[in-house]
Structure formats: C-alpha cells, structure tokens
Structure 1
Amino acid sequence: MATMRAVRTRKDLGQAVLVDDAEIPSVAAYPDHVLVKPSYVGINHCDYFTVDHPFIFQPEINLGSEFCGKVVDIGAHCQGIRKIGERVAGCTFTCASAMPYAGCHADYFLIKGDTLLLVDNMGDQILEEQAAGLGVAFSTVFQTMYHLMKLPFPSLEDWAVETEPLPKRAILIAGGATNTGMIAIQFAKLSGLTVLTTCSPHNFALMKDLGAHATSDYKDTESCIADIKAALQAEGLDKEPMLALDCVGNFGSPEVCAGVLPAGSTYVSVAPPSLPGRDDVTLEFAQGQRVLGDSYTFNGQVIPAYPEVSEPWKAFARLSERLISAGRIRLSPVQVQGGLDKVLETLELLREWKFSATKAVCKV
C-alpha cells in the first residue's frame, strides 16, 4: 500500500497527529472524483471543531477543509476538470460520510471534479497561497447569502442575471475581519445591500474599503448595538427586516445580532444558531459543505446530499472566478505558517483567535 503524510484524528475525541503512513486514495473507487496534490492548505476554525466537538468528530480521518493544488488523476466519470495538471481550489469536508479521503491536510486527497474552483480562470495576479483560502469562505457565502437568503447574484458585463430589483435592504456581517467576513462584505455590496459589520477598530478602514457602509467595535456589546441601530436609522432601515451573517458565533456576536435585528429578520451563523428571546427571527446554520453534493455525518446522523445547493454552486463558482479576474473581489492577505508539520500548531493559534484580517495557510 502506497502511503503519504496526513494530519489525522485519533481514536479519542480531542486528539490529532501528523502521520506518514496514511493510505494514498485512488479514483478507481470514486470515478466522479479527482485526486489532488495540494500546494497550500487553508487552516480553519472548523478544522479544530472536527477534532474537539463530539457532534462532528470521527476517529481516524484526515483533517483539512480548503486548499489549492494540482489535479494528478481523474476518475473515469469525472466532470468539470479539463486536464491533469489543472490548478484547482475549493473546500473539502472531513465528515463527508461517503468520502473518507476528503481531508486536504495531506499529500493527496479526493474531491468531486465539478465542485472545484479553477485557479487559472482567476487571472495571473492570484497566488496559490491566496487561492488556498477561498474554499470555506466562498462556499459559506454562497450557501448562506445566495441559497438561504436568496440574494441575487452580482452581475458582471456579459453575466447579467435577470432578477426583480431589490428594495433597499441591510445586512449585518458580524466578524467582518475574518476571512469569510471579508469575502461576504464584498459579495453583499455587489448584490446591492447596505453592509454593516463588526470588527476591531484597527480594521475599520479596511472594512469600509471592502464595501462596508458602517463599522462598529464588537468588544463593547451595548455600544456596538447602539452604533448599528444608529446606522440603520440613518438609512431608514431600522424597522425593516434585515439579514445577519455571523462569521464568529461567539464572543458576543450573537448578542449583538439579537440586539439589532428587527422582527422578521434572518440570522445565519457559522456556529449552531441561538438567539434567546428572539422567536421573531428566523435562525439558520451556515453549512457551506453542502456545495460538495455529498452526504455527511453530523451529531451522529447522516445528513443527505443537497442537490438544490450543489447544482447552482457550479454557476456561482464560474462567476466568482470571473469576479476575481476582473478585480471585483479581492482576496484576503495570507500568512504562510510553515508546512504540514505546522498545521496543528496553527490550529492552536486559531483557537485563541490570533489572526485578524488575514488568512492562515500552510505549504504542503
């Protein structure tokens, strides 16, 4: 059996380690997949959730949820990939029950070919380490803003989408300086929304440069709520149902959202959503992995595939590549933390929220 390096969970909850004897998977058993050799992998909060939390933990699986790399083998029934050597990026989901080799913190992994972002479509200015941070942010933005929230796709020259004009509408992006938050701000602006966001004051200028209409410091909950309410009132939107995408799900962000959302609003969180006392707000859980079109295991249950998410994702992926190439979507700054041997160390830094307005990646 040919083997490779991989960051894997152990038998017990909370344990993960870098091994050098993991099995190299093959497309022979997964003919609609490609085998990818990553060049860089993104490091995400969901990676340590996979290790630490019993509702998604599985023993002896490879970690890793986003990447940039090259296709080294193509399954017999694979779609969406043009050639071996194609540079690709995207998201993976280690708990996808139908795909035990999904985790990308490894020398090789498998993924469905028609779910991938094609890096060569994004323009010559995009670095592979930047592309490694796209998968989780883009899939989360698509699943929350364009599936759950049903916003219109941005238009781009010959990619105009026929939709009814939207009334003036606001969105609060809690955690705007996270990687997902920075991408979400830009897409929300392109889709015609008035964007408000929370972050640290040293990131206010960057958030406004990305498209935020107003910013507020999340560290003082009462003051943050007052600032956002004042901004909504100034725009005449304080009584209108609005949207909230919580890219943190902790550290007071749910409380801020609960304090500002008018009745009839929609709150989507990257953590299991809870807004005590707000029965008048629709709660949704951000699950970007649904774009993969696989079933997956969550809290001991197998969740079926969602073709109503995975099919339109393909069009969104092509549009996103064009938006990046045209300079309409800017990618986050990156910090390369080292190689695969630094993944677990970087996860510890993420547990402490040590990264702000930057994306942590490791070179494979």
Structure 2
Amino acid sequence: MKAKEKVAAVRCASYDENQVERQLSRLMEAIDAAALIKPGMKVLIKPNLLSAKNPEEFTTTHPEVLRALVRYVQRHGAQVMLADSPAGRFTLDSLRLVYQKTGLKALAEQENCQLNESLDNVESELKMGSEAVPILKCVADADLIIDCCKFKSHSYTLTSGAVKNMFGVIPGLVKAEMHARFPKRAHFCRFLCQLAAMVKPQLCIMDAIEGMQGNGPSGGDRYDGQRLLAARDPFVLDYGALKLFGLDPNQMPIHHAACVLGLVDPQNLELCALEESWEALSRHDFRLPETVKGLIQLIPSPVEALRHVFAPYPKPDLKRCVGCGECLRDCPVHAITLVNQKAVIDRRRCIRCYCCQEVCPIHVVQLKR
C-alpha cells in the first residue's frame, strides 16, 4: 500500500524568533525534511514577495519564518539562495527595493545567505503550444527548491498558497502574458498546477501566522491565523491548509484543477496536528474575497460568458489614484489607460484577472458589481 502523504500543522502565536524556529523544526521532523537536504546542495527558497511591502502588511512571507528555514537548511550543510520575481516590473532596482522593504536584505546579511539578483531566465520543460514557458535561471540551477508561501485570499483564484506561489518563478511581466493566454479562471488555474508540477518543489512551508483574508492578495485584511504548516508537496500542503481553515477544497479552483490533472489524491493524505487533534487546531473564520459571493456562484461553470458578466469588475477610485501606471503596465490585455493621470479601465476588454488590484501600491482599485 502506498504511504500516505502528510501535512503537518502546529500553532505558532507570533513571529517571535525562538518560537518560530522551535515550531518550524518540529514540522520539519514530522515530515522528515532532513532526508531531502544533503551537504553542499544548492537550495533555493522561493518566498512570496508579491511587492515592496513591509512584513507588518501581512502580504509577503515573513522574514522570521524564512530565518528559521534558512538556519535549518544551513545546519544540514547546504547553501541557501532566496529568490522570487515579484509582480510588475522586473529590474534590478525594483528587485532590490522588494528585498529591502520585505526584510530579506537584512535577513540575508544576518544569516549569511544569498539573494538572487540575476534577471536571467531559461526555457522550462513546460510548453504552451510550441513555446516554452520561461523561468528564472536560478530556479533551474537549484538542486532543491523549497516553497515558502503565505496563506492569503486571492480575488482571482480565491486562495493563494504553495501552488500559486510557484507563479513567481516566471520572470517579470511574462506573468501578465500568461494571464492573457489563459483569460478564463479554470484554464489559468490548470496552468498554475502544471507549472508547480514542473518546478517540483520538494519541501513546502506555509506562513499562516498572519495571513490575509478578504480581497487579497495585497488589498485584504489581516487574518490572525497563528498556524504554520509543512508538507513535501505543494498540492498536498494547499489541501491541508484549506481543510485547516474551514474551506471546502472542492470549491477552490486550484485544488479542483489539481484533482482533474491527477496531481493530488485527498484519499491518500494524512492531516497531522503536532500538539493536539486536527479538529482542535482547525479554524472556521476565514473570509474569502468578494468575488466568491453573489450570483457568480449560482451560474454553472460551463456558462462562462454569463459568469464573466456577473463577476465583479475592478474600478480605481479616481479621487485617490495617483497615476503611477503600475496597473497599466501589469494589465495582461491592455485594458487600462491613463486619462488626466488617472487609471481608467475598459470593462469590455477586462478579463477580471484582478492583476490591477494586486499590484496597486496604494490599494485604490475596488471591486464593483
């Protein structure tokens, strides 16, 4: 009989350095992470660094979780690099700003690990038609990839975890091109699953000590999750997180796509709480984005045209918009223009991917019906 794949979870009340390191070490032992890390390995840790946000904005993987993870890997004799391609422009200056604001620059200096500053990419094994999907070269060069994600809501995919975090191995605005290539949510989520399966992170950690609920992944509200999770597979970890926070995995489009592709088998998973029962550790108060509410959920998924009509549309608050142009640059279908230094969205062209809401640095993009 095939051994069950384990998702381990534990309480962690704060980002206190000693508490995080102690609880993360317990998770690593529970999933036998040490068996994966060999001396001299080049280990790449992929955090969620969506944009230049400070850790207190609960948008990015917290540096204390990354610190504990870096130390664990280094204790096993491996070399560590932290790498991501945040949303929006992908330049050395923008990347360094993200590292500084998210606390990773200070972390790398304190823990003697490397930050990727190369913008180089290579063709991956994943093809879309006749074209290979590019990924960061440092990802392709790594001996072991660790997926260290943040538990968040997401206006397009409803939740964001380990599978969605792998989208950041695609460089810069190529991510917007992928949105344009897959304008339907189901097709985009299928692509995310194929990408994660190709990258194959072998160790996955979820920072759910503080998460984001509501209209995430950048404009939502703080969620006091007080949990850390770990697994050896991103699809397994995401399933465990959905169950832990009281969400129905079958209603989540990424998990649904993973099941259709045969990438996860819920019947072959073990949910393991380290200090108590899984039921006692579970929560049932997580709030999904507004895009999950209302008529959109009553429409059968094959009727895609009607689903699009009833889906909330993004609308910048023109009184607060500063005309920075970040949404314009990141829109995959070029539905945004600047009029009198204010962002204006053409609703007829908009594909409801909500990238504009995601990258807006001052959160002025609202969802309307």
TM-score category, normalised to shorter length: under 0.3
Q: TM-score, normalised by structure 2?
A: 0.26
Which is richer in helix?
A: 2
